[in-house]
Structure 1
């Protein structure tokens, strides 16, 4: 990517990591668990964490890191809190985007894979979780650089956009999306590249799928950077503007990846068994921004430990909707029960001079529909 703030020395160090970690031993869990309480998040939020030492932190207390990621953690420990924040942000956004779906991105307490066996299936859901997690790292690191939290990066050094008004000043301290992209690419993909897999193997197919979806998540951030501007001038005349690079909101990123999820491309091996290609030629070839999957998703209607499905029994549904949140689809034809629920809310709020808002308390009864 043009305009990267990573030095050549960093690239050389990372290359050495790949050489020495190419045939590492197996490992359990995944780095997403850094965003979960008790799996690394609590440790990284402790201001005294450095006192313990990076070796102990990276190898023993941060759950889900592969061997290569542990070494990278030791080299750039200050990057780990933003990575954990990015993972946490990704988990929350996943749950928001799928709140009205049968699979609602539920996390499983005590499971180092975060989402449980559902991600062992190379489906659309696995594609989305890889993409949103990689996007979370780019977003969080890009912001951390701008805030001065990381030693090897600062404000963005992105080139001035060609279409920016020539009277505007290109400056300020922009989000360093370039560093976020490059570091996320190395850190996230490193876990997938630690082993060599034979041609036509399920392991190779899954690795290629994950790498592609990781890149799709990163591009959902990098390719949609914005230009933000601030006015200067006497009495707000805006006679002068200063502009800088700004990250898209993570809600925008989540919505973009959700669209990619709905339009994800089913793939299979090529004739040589080394790359993935679209399974159905009637669809367009996938781009770097598209999401890929290898197998169809379960219906998630019934609880199933093998697939990780929690089922939809007990989930609230919308009686008046024909969409996925509607009782017909959400409940998988099993029907639903209706309950009365009393809501207590603030109402009739008025501003009282000066300076507070006074409200009354109102009660209302609402029908709640729950899948059988």
Structure 2
């Protein structure tokens, strides 16, 4: 039997726990609370859920089968990606595709994590970092590059050298994240950060300082997706999934650099962004990035912000680092980015907090950090994947 027509999909429920650097609670406990909150938010029942999607599993989180068993779910469509935060977008996309195709009616996206329980990140359990040929973050232990931050710092150094930019301009990213987080009562890091504080912070891998690195957190988040038709009969306003594009891979891709920057196997030739490079806008019925009200992105390291801006055409090549100055990406700025604080200041729950915040902005429920007239939110990463969410029109 051929596949039928695709169904339009919406986010109908969100849940997020309190977050902390160290908590006695388990990843399973966080996952349960987040899912329960999302169900309460939507008005759906546990028995309605027949799809389960996650981007993280053991040892940082809980594998999909254990989640289903513990929660008493009857799942007929499940996906668990490689245990890494950067797959949060693809995990949500898999859920959307399942509902659109009809292999699931209500899909739960769940991610509860406990960084404090796995000990030192980058240790013997980091299968990416120790794989043959080096890790996907750019880990090359034989050269002393033993952690993701080394690859991110190398790419940013290359970027600044290529365009003759002062690396200290990157301070605008953690300063904006911290100022946004101060408007978020659930943020992990709300202590004020000013430029002099940034300059006084130690280098972790030069030219990146401590505030340029994501937090480690214990906490959880969850989303529920179903058809737009069903969503309109539920408790909360539907947030429509308007467009998507997938995570990229290949010779010219490095997860912490735009294509053509000359990092690792990349070519050393960048080219102008073309509409065909980012079909997410056309799929969502948008003219381009100028139609986006809020941008949310995977900010594991500060340079991810300018790299996303350039990859998706918000600025031209080599222009984003200068463009983000003077509060442009803060709440109240020209393009608010990661309005809840992101991985740098709210919490690192492997990306789910970003999507929870996107839904809050579109519902008008973000409190002191609410962006006036927010109708379109884009999720994007320097690895090329993107999701556009919008109000139900």
TM-score (norm 1): 0.27
Q: Name which structure has the greater RCO, CA cutoff 8 Å, separation 6+.
A: 2
Question: Higher helix proportion, which one?
Answer: 1
TM-score (norm 2): 0.26
